[in-house]
């Protein structure tokens, strides 16, 4: 049977799709390390991001790659240090003000409810039956 619409050879991506699927199945991929519940809960005490600390950390490593620090010869300011400071401020600002964190919570999380009626206190136990979403704030 003749096709009404001709097949475009450029749109045939089966080889690329197959390569991608094989890549996803490779066992030697780098795995993202999993954090323990304690590590996640302890993250609440982290100090948060600081553009000043980030810039200082970067400029402190300038000597490793031969970039001078401090004022340059003749007393002129080190433009590279200022450049790193401006970049650090922009990155931290973007992370703190533009970044969005989405989380998905699996089903089956234990739920406990308390209440009362004319018969007295009522305690209820159960589990969530559908996944939920949440949001967080990058700091």
pLDDT tens digit sequence for 34-79: 888 888 888 888 888 999 999 999 999 999 999 999 998 888 999 9
Q: Which domain holds residue 72?
A: 48-104+135-139
Q: Answer yes or no: is 117 within a domain.
A: no
Q: Answer yes or no: is 53 within a domain.
A: yes
Q: Answer yes or no: is 98 within a domain.
A: yes
* pLDDT at residue number 113: 87
Q: Answer yes or no: is 34 within a domain.
A: no
DSSP 8-state assignment for residue 62: G
Coil/strand/helix, residue 94: helix
* pLDDT at residue number 9: 64
Whole-angstrom CA distances from 138 to 76, 77, 89, 116 are: 37, 33, 15, 39
* pLDDT at residue number 105: 81
Q: Answer yes or no: is 86 within a domain.
A: yes
Candidates 37, 43, 53, 32; CA nearest to 139 is: 43
* pLDDT at residue number 8: 64
Tell which wins on pLDDT, 81 or 23. 81
**Backbone φ, ψ for residue 51 (5° rounding):** -65, -35
Best mean pLDDT range from 3-17, 55-69, 98-112: 55-69
Q: Answer yes or no: is 56 within a domain.
A: yes
Q: Answer yes or no: is 75 within a domain.
A: yes
Q: How many domains does the chain have?
A: 1
Q: Answer yes or no: is 94 within a domain.
A: yes
């Amino acid at each position: 049977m003749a096709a009404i619409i001709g097949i475009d050879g450029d749109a045939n991506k089966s080889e690329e799709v197959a390569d991608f699927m094989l890549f996803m199945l490779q066992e030697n991929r780098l795995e993202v390390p999993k954090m323990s519940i304690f590590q996640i809960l302890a993250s609440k005490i982290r100090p948060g991001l600081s553009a000043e600390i980030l810039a200082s950390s970067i400029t402190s490593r300038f000597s490793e790659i031969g970039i001078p620090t401090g004022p340059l010869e003749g007393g002129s300011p080190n433009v590279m240090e200022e450049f790193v400071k401006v970049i650090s401020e922009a990155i931290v600002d973007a992370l703190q003000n533009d970044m969005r964190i989405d989380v998905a919570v699996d089903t089956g999380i234990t739920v406990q409810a308390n209440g009362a009626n004319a018969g007295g206190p009522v305690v209820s136990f159960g589990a969530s039956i559908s996944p939920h979403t949440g949001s967080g704030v990058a700091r």
